[in-house]
Amino acid sequence: MEQPVLADHAGGVTSRRPRARLTKVLAPYLLSLPAGLWLLALFLIPLVTMLSLSLQTCNLGTGACVMTWHWAEFGQQLSLYHGQFLNSFYYAGAAALIDLVISYPIAYWIAFYGGSKKNFFLLMLLVPFFVSFVIRTVVWNFILSDNGFILGSLKHAHLLPQGFHVLSTGYAVVAGLAYNYLPFTALPLYVAIERIDKTVLDAAYDLYATRRAAFARVILPLTVPGLFAAFLLTFIPALGDYVNQQVLGGTSNTMIGTVIQNAFQTLDYAAGSTLSAMLLGVALIGIFAYARVLGSRTIDEYL
């Protein structure tokens, strides 16, 4: 530790001090300026606008809005659509859990056995993303249609009753969400597993751990923050999803994203903003809970 101490070079430093200090003080701000402006223009302003709109009263026709501090809107929307909120939680939660179960082995395998082809396997995970989200979801409509390739064949073989269907059910919605958001789970999990120092496994084996014990007592605990991050990164976007339910769902499994979309389609911006603000609040609570349990730093390590 041979850090030069300022006092040792008093003369030289003193003469340059004012300028050096100014640059030093400004540097972090200047460096963060592009990102700061970006956040301000594309995140903060829209966010504040939305929150403010949620308390305004709008004329649907002209789009003219007046601030009325209409807090009652929150209660009204909640009483109308709490069921749809709950649906969103169930479906997004179920999809995130399914994704964790599916992607853990994938991420584990790539991290430990991917070898020199790791990047290729990761790319494979992302390949579906080259096709539009909506189109991929709509295609499931054809694959899973009542008389389609899969269900039609099974019905033909009398393995399924004639009235059986997958589309227009909550299961189809959860399956669609799990399918579409899988990479959001797999990639953070991969990062979490990949960063484990492989020598700790050797140490475990040296201490006579079985493979199973090494996994359960060494690998798994080390990936817990990654599991939480992966869950949140999947759960939160899935919570606001409005495509899967509309394409794959039926009459009694509407998610809140659909309600918000319909509000904007009918140009009822106040209602849409109120619902969005509530959804945002819920997502924030999730993130704070995470920060509380696992420390605030861990989540951004996986982003």
Partner 1 sequence: MTERNGSDPHESAIDPSVWRGMTQSRMSRRHLLASAGTGAGMLGMSAVLAACGVKGATSSGGPKPAGGVGTAAWWAKQKSTKTVNFANWPYYIDVVKGKHLSLERFTATTGITVNYTEPIGNNMPFYAKIRTSLSAKQSTGYDIIVMTNNSPAIGYLIQFGWLTPLDQSAMTNFNKNAGPLVKNPSWDPHNKYTMAWQSGWTAIGYNSAIIKNPGTSVDILFDKKYAGKVGMMNDPQELGSVGLLAIGVDPATSTESDWAKAAKKLNQQRSDGIVRAYYDQSYIDHLKNGDTVVTQAWSGDIFQADLNSKYRDLALLIPNEGGMFWTDNMCIPMYAQNPRDAMTLMDFYYQPDVEAVVEYYDDYICPVPAAKQALLSPTGWAAKALKELAPEIGLPTSKTAGAPTVFPTPAYVKNSRPYYLYKSQEELTAWNNLFLPITQGA
Binding segment for partner 1 (CB under 8 A), chosen from 8-16, 17-25, 42-50, 295-303, is 42-50
Least distance from partner 1 to the Cβ atom of residue 44, Å = 13
- Find tokens 């991929």 and name the residue: 136
Binding segment for partner 1 (CB under 8 A), chosen from 17-25, 100-108, 145-153, 191-199, is 145-153
Of the candidates 112, 114, 118, 148, which one interacts with partner 1 according to CB under 8 A? 148
Binding mask 224-253 for partner 1 (x = CB under 8 A): ------------------xx--xx-xxxxx
Question: What are the start-end ranges of the E strands in the chain?
Answer: 56-58, 65-67
Buried b (16+ CB within 10 A) or exposed e, 58-72: beeeeeebeeeeeee
Asked if 25 touches partner 1 (CB under 8 A), the answer is: no
Least distance from partner 1 to the Cβ atom of residue 175, Å = 16
Asked if 64 touches partner 1 (CB under 8 A), the answer is: yes
- Measured between its terminal Cα atoms, the distance across the chain in Å is 34
> How many Cα atoms are found within 13 Å in the side-chain-facing hemisphere of 167?
17
The residue among 137, 140, 158 whose CA lies nearest residue 149 is 140
Cα–Cα distances (Å) from 192 to 15, 49, 79, 218, 245, in that order, read 48, 36, 40, 13, 31
Of the candidates 79, 132, 162, 199, which one interacts with partner 1 according to CB under 8 A? 132
Asked if 63 touches partner 1 (CB under 8 A), the answer is: yes
Long-range contacts of 61-69 (CB under 8 A, 24+ apart): 63/267, 63/269, 65/269, 65/270
Least distance from partner 1 to the Cβ atom of residue 90, Å = 10
Q: Give the residue with the Cβ less far from partner 1, 108 or 264.
A: 264
Of the candidates 259, 275, 279, 299, which one interacts with partner 1 according to CB under 8 A? 259
Of the candidates 119, 153, 266, 296, which one interacts with partner 1 according to CB under 8 A? 266
Binding segment for partner 1 (CB under 8 A), chosen from 2-10, 32-40, 59-67, 229-237, is 59-67
Burial class (CB in 10 A: 0-12, 13-18, 19+), 298: middle
Answer left, alpha or beta for residue 123, where phi above 0 means left and psi between -120 and 50 means alpha.
Answer: alpha
> Residues in the site for partner 1, rule: CB under 8 A?
46, 49-50, 53, 59-65, 80-81, 83-84, 86-87, 132, 134-135, 138, 141-142, 145-148, 163, 165, 167-168, 242-243, 246-247, 249-254, 257-262, 264-269, 272-273
